[in-house]
Structure 1
Amino acid sequence: MKKLAALALLGLISLPVLAQTTSTVKHPVWSENAAIYEANIRQYSPEGSFKRFQEYLPELKKMGVGIIWIMPVNPIGEKNRKGTLGSYYAVRDYKGVNPEFGTPADFKNLVDAAHAQGMKVIIDWVANHTAWDHPWVSSHPEYYLKNDKGEFVPPVPDWQDVIKLNYANPQLRVAMIDALTFWLTEYGIDGFRCDVAEMVPVDFWNEARAALDQVKPVFMLAEGEAPELHEKAFDMTYAWQLKDLFGEIANGKKNANDLAAYMAGPEKKFNDNAYRMLHTSNHDLNSWEGTEFERLGEGVESFLVLSNLLKGMPLLYAGQEAGNTRRLEFFERDPIQWKPHPYKAIYTTLFHLKKRNHALWNGLEGGEQMRLPTTNDNAVYAFSRSKAGNQVIGIFNLSGQPQSVSFSAAPSPARFKNLFSGASETLRPGKVMQLKPWEYRVLVK
């Protein structure tokens, strides 16, 4: 068994996966080769408005973004509010638009403009809890979970600005699905990113997805990593463990072989049909754990590129394309400082590669990852993905030391184009490749 495990790490064989879940989710066709952008309207501009963000849509189109995820657009509760402006996730009205960002007409114009650019829009949905001053608190107190004293309770002790809903109540489920449907019919959005999805019963999400798909084919992203979320409800979940592993490799606690072991082990519990969201930052990471530059250090660009090539859908959080090095305030206005940065061109190159190269498509439409054994697998993670005559090879020095790399067997074909330099490169057995610390090569057929 030890020998088999070692061979699996090298990508030469595949060990059987016994616990992979099923998935009957039918992904919208437009999601098959999409990359996703997370828009933080409050911090996008000094005005923090839908109108100002709408002006940026042509740039997102040029970058190759397929799906725009907009953080919650609902009015924010005032009772027990945190900070001056409150948390986006303390919803006071499920069918309302936050006046901080603009009018309902402004939001509708934004959605229509995104569609005109060929992009889809999903909005952040907070189904687990509401603000203390949501109308349901007085009109339907039975919708909420209560303690032994009959008092409303926060979902977790630190979330004192919200109170938890009770999905044992069937009428709550009806009301929540009605609110979700409202955004499809009134604003024409294309799906939802569902906050703390694992804190809401999976059978509710299954019920909701079935109802929403009757209106239009939707895209559903779960903030969660439970494989069963993919069975009937969600197109995509967060690759949280992979994000953590990136950090451990960057800090020298783990190495390229640990990444290979993760890909051959824990990641395989997800059905091949499941989309996994790959990211180096998002609103939570940036505000609470630190920027990608803080967490990933000198390896940040390498992990950025890697997250665009591994099996899954890459996420770009607002400001990453400008090389934002600041932790953005969560409960206050704290506009992104926009400036030219090389990362915008890198994301653009990678997003367009994903759109046209079938090997990088999502779920069953994309190619599987096969690790390519090298002379120094502890430091170097090399892999190939192939599909429909397309092939992409990634070679990453995941260490702070220079590496001399050679392959025991060359991929076929042996001649490729370097994605970023445009140069022709040939891979053959025994050929030595010199990689600087954290250097990467992306080779394309």
Structure 2
Amino acid sequence: MTPLHQGPRIYNLFPTLLGPIDAWEKHLPAITAMGFNWVFLNPFHYPGSSGSLYAVKDHYRLHPAVQGKGKGSPDVRIRRFIAAAGNAGLKVMMDLIVNHTATDSELVAKHPDWYARGTDGKIRSPFAVDPDTGSVTVWEDLAEIDYSGRLARTEILAYWNALVSHYVRLGFRGFRCDAAYKLPGAVWKELIGTARAADPDLCFFAETLGAQQQEVDQLRPAGFDYFFNSAKWWDFRARWLLDQYEQFRHVAPSIAFPETHDTERLSAASGGSERESRFWYLFAACFSSGVMMPIGYELGFRRPLHVVKTRPEDWEEPAFDISGFVGEVNRMKAAAAVLNEEGPQECFTAIDDHLVGLLRRSQQGPQRAVSLINPDPEQEREFAGAQLADVMRCASAGIREITPPQQGGWPMDSIRIAPRSIRIFAAD
């Protein structure tokens, strides 16, 4: 596998935490040093009255916190940042939100027929139903776009096609498609197809967290390059994650993450445990084709990334610094072909075993990788070297450990896995 076919290793740069766009560039050397190949920007557009990044009022103006006092047009400043990222070896993606706008968006006034209506005739807000509790969350600051009418759909897609083309001209190489499962696959197919007709190398990433399987299946013809999976919530016992992996991989490869802007900071949940942050990043990197983490994860930040309130004043003193470790993990991932594709993956240990063993196989060649995961926070576990060779179906001499940093010579009679840690082995 050539570097051109490496999976995405994404660093999520949260715009309002850094403030004016001219201040973003100074973070690029650290991102590159950690071995990332993509930068993801949450919405940086002008928001509606709620102030939420995801309630966009004007797609062509900058958020006031991003605008700052800098001079130059938004386009010039965005293009300058993306060019600097490119010089640092990084592609840049942005959020593409086509399911809704702010309730006070200029589009509501100009094109009221584009929006879904409730039984009372008022513009409808999008909502979500918790499958476990049945509770309903309604986003009152958002106006849901209606794609059911053929004429309106044509007009709406023309607007989004123009928006995508505009930002591609500024240098964006990818789009994270927010709540992708909320739209018909046919809509995405047309939008993605139009964009790719002009630029075949564009990448589209579907945010599908919380989606039902049928909602994901209907995206099959859309042409997405990657989905985001739910690996963060695995308990290392239940079957659901591997079932999801198997179902999703036939649609598109997936991206795992230890936290996002939508979740609690892991460092806050763990009480500032550096070991937990190392453990979850390594697991995310070895489980899926892609991996993503938000700004501050490497420094143990605890304050949540808030879509309304976060500002540069929320920058924290580091609780720890695992930047070097993240870089080693990313370089390990980049160098192991089998970790950059969504080949078959199975658990070869029993559900009641203390150790969790995952075998991942390439679809492009004979490569295989095994992750030996010890989720126990206190007890060391062991795994027989001969058993590993049996699982990987090769001689011990054909196996190499790729865990960063290397933990000893191979072959060995017994492999020790420290509490709350992972060891990874590969064979060609």
Q: TM-score range by the shorter chain?
A: 0.7 to 0.9
User: What TM-score do the two structures reach when normalised by structure 2?
Assistant: 0.82
- 1:271 deviates by 3.3
Kept in 1: contact 2:6–2:340 (CA 8 A): yes
Partner of 2:61, secondary structure, is coil
In structure 2, give the amino acid aligned to 1:96. R
Judged with a 3 Å threshold, the aligned counterparts in structure 2 of structure 1 residues 413 and 383 are, in CA distance, closer, same or farther, namely farther
**Seq. identity, %:** 18
- 1:418 deviates by 5.5
User: What pairs with 1:312-327 in structure 2 (closer than 5 Å)?
Assistant: 312-327=289-304
Who is 1:93 aligned against?
58
In structure 2, give the amino acid aligned to 1:244. W
Who is 1:229 aligned against?
219
For the residues of structure 1 that align with 2:333 and 2:378, how far apart are their CA atoms?
A: 30
Instruction: Indicate whether 1:200 and 2:183 are aligned.
Output: yes
Partner of 1:405, secondary structure, is strand
Partner of 2:89, secondary structure, is coil
Greater RCO structure (CA 8 Å; 6+ sep): 1
Partner of 1:75, secondary structure, is strand
Judged with a 3 Å threshold, the aligned counterparts in structure 2 of structure 1 residues 264 and 129 are, in CA distance, closer, same or farther, namely closer
For the residues of structure 1 that align with 2:381 and 2:114, how far apart are their CA atoms?
A: 62
In structure 1, give the amino acid aligned to 2:252. A
User: What pairs with 1:396-411 in structure 2 (closer than 5 Å)?
Assistant: 396-407=373-384, 409-411=387-389
User: What pairs with 1:134-149 in structure 2 (closer than 5 Å)?
Assistant: 134-149=105-120
Name the stretch that deviates more: 58-67 or 261-270: 261-270
User: What pairs with 1:12-51 in structure 2 (closer than 5 Å)?
Assistant: 30=4, 32-44=6-18, 48-51=19-22
- 1:278 deviates by 0.3
In structure 2, give the amino acid aligned to 1:215. A
Who is 1:266 aligned against?
244
Kept in 1: contact 2:8–2:289 (CA 8 A): no
User: What pairs with 1:37-186 in structure 2 (closer than 5 Å)?
Assistant: 37-44=11-18, 48-78=19-49, 81=50, 86-102=51-67, 103-156=74-127, 158-168=138-148, 169-170=152-153, 171-185=155-169
In structure 2, give the amino acid aligned to 1:174. A
Partner of 2:59, secondary structure, is coil
Who is 1:219 aligned against?
203
Who is 1:362 aligned against?
341
In structure 1, give the amino acid aligned to 2:298. E
- 1:338 deviates by 5.0
Who is 1:279 aligned against?
257
For the residues of structure 1 that align with 2:321 and 2:314, how far apart are their CA atoms?
A: 20
User: What TM-score do the two structures reach when normalised by structure 1?
Assistant: 0.79
For the residues of structure 2 that align with 1:120 and 1:267, how far apart are their CA atoms?
A: 26
Who is 2:70 aligned against?
none
User: What pairs with 1:298-317 in structure 2 (closer than 5 Å)?
Assistant: 299-317=276-294
- 1:437 deviates by 2.5
For the residues of structure 2 that align with 1:198 and 1:75, how far apart are their CA atoms?
A: 25
- 1:337 deviates by 1.5
Judged with a 3 Å threshold, the aligned counterparts in structure 2 of structure 1 residues 41 and 315 are, in CA distance, closer, same or farther, namely same
Judged with a 3 Å threshold, the aligned counterparts in structure 2 of structure 1 residues 39 and 404 are, in CA distance, closer, same or farther, namely closer
- 1:167 deviates by 1.0
Who is 2:132 aligned against?
none
Aligned residues: 387
Name structure 1 gaps, 5 residues minimum: 1-27, 250-255
Judged with a 3 Å threshold, the aligned counterparts in structure 2 of structure 1 residues 155 and 404 are, in CA distance, closer, same or farther, namely closer
- 1:377 deviates by 5.7
Judged with a 3 Å threshold, the aligned counterparts in structure 2 of structure 1 residues 200 and 184 are, in CA distance, closer, same or farther, namely same
Kept in 1: contact 2:354–2:381 (CA 8 A): no
For the residues of structure 2 that align with 1:262 and 1:137, how far apart are their CA atoms?
A: 41
